[in-house]
Structure 1
């Protein structure tokens, strides 16, 4: 099964996966991929653009391979803002879409504390886009706060 986890930056998507995925599942998370491809001490967030470039290519390859296996194992895919084309593909694959959203105030506080200011713009875009869509899934926190 494909489980697509979406939500704004710093919402707790990785934490949600940590709480639900099994060791035998495939997890495709750009932050984890970037961390795996960089040297010791590299930041977990606010990665260098060249590191992200390599990690994005690895992510695309991992997605292509994992989607061929969704009938044999669970695949967790973090996709912050899937566009209409991606959502159509996920629907065709009968993916479960999970929205992780602890609320705008919490997200913006976390971004200010842990992420680059650019992520505020991404979060604002996510919330603006979300407002224009019918609410198909209830927002949820990644854990009880």
Structure 2
């Protein structure tokens, strides 16, 4: 699966990837590449014009290659703040999952003042100015409101509860989950068919959530085909 993470500066895109990607997954992050080739601190976000030009070219090549021949044994995570129409079309053709991380303009601007160069305020302002009211495939509604709901579900979660999709146990600690990822918030009533007003109402393994998609094949989910034995010896 190819995941493309969109959003303004300081939205939490890199944090999202760290929380959801598993060891061995491929990550394409502008800052990571720039800091690697210049030997700068990983937390650095300031790059001169020459480095920025080189990294943009390298990132284009990486993304193009990954879209043409995605790996079948690991996921790909691409941080791309604001891709253009042509790039979006390429992502869509490749079947990428696009997620927008946006805690809100006020939060972003406050973070930039304390964490990033002042020039990033203009970048963030442009990001918000160019957004359109219409919800597109790049805006799946998985923003700040969704993250808050996921946090509520996690607080109420009991470790070991079986995943509705695969039947295997779910844990807050992503290292204990079968896919090695953090749990994802899922909508019983798929947003694609029931609209975007519904909040997520359960947790699934991240991979199971991706496999479920719009829920068209819920009747074929693995949990219905493979009985799972609990610690008490019961099968369900």
Q: TM-score, normalised by structure 2?
A: 0.56
Indicate how the Cα distance of structure 1 residues 125 and 133 shifts in structure 2: closer, same or farther if over 3 A, else same: farther
Q: How many residues align?
A: 144
Separation (CA, whole Å) in 2 of partners of 1:57 and 1:82: 14
Q: Which runs of 5+ in 1 are unaligned?
A: none
Indicate how the Cα distance of structure 1 residues 22 and 109 shifts in structure 2: closer, same or farther if over 3 A, else same: same
Indicate how the Cα distance of structure 1 residues 35 and 16 shifts in structure 2: closer, same or farther if over 3 A, else same: same
Separation (CA, whole Å) in 2 of partners of 1:62 and 1:36: 15
Q: Describe the SS at the equivalent of 1:130.
A: coil
Alignment match, 1:5: 5
Tell me: higher relative CO, structure 1 or 2? Use CA pairs within 8 A at least 6 residues apart. 1
Separation (CA, whole Å) in 2 of partners of 1:47 and 1:40: 10
Alignment match, 2:140: 137
Alignment match, 1:16: 16
**Residue-by-residue CA offset, 1:14-38 (whole Å, 9 max, x unaligned):** 0100000111111000000001111
Separation (CA, whole Å) in 2 of partners of 1:22 and 1:35: 21
Separation (CA, whole Å) in 1 of partners of 2:42 and 2:27: 20
Cα pair 2:35 2:41 within 8 Å, conserved? no
- 1:40 Cα deviation from its structure 2 partner: 4.3
- 1:60 Cα deviation from its structure 2 partner: 1.6
Where in structure 2 are the equivalents of 1:1-145 lying within 5 Å? 1-41=1-41, 44-72=44-72, 73-134=74-135, 136-138=139-141, 139-140=143-144
Separation (CA, whole Å) in 1 of partners of 2:84 and 2:16: 22
**Residue-by-residue CA offset, 1:101-123 (whole Å, 9 max, x unaligned):** 11111100111112122211111
Indicate how the Cα distance of structure 1 residues 33 and 65 shifts in structure 2: closer, same or farther if over 3 A, else same: same
Cα pair 1:26 1:66 within 8 Å, conserved? no
Separation (CA, whole Å) in 1 of partners of 2:54 and 2:34: 8
Indicate how the Cα distance of structure 1 residues 24 and 115 shifts in structure 2: closer, same or farther if over 3 A, else same: same
Q: Which runs of 5+ in 2 are unaligned?
A: 152-236
Larger radius of gyration: 2
Q: TM-score, normalised by structure 1?
A: 0.87
**Residue-by-residue CA offset, 1:63-83 (whole Å, 9 max, x unaligned):** 122223325131111111111
Cα pair 2:67 2:91 within 8 Å, conserved? no
More helix by share: 1
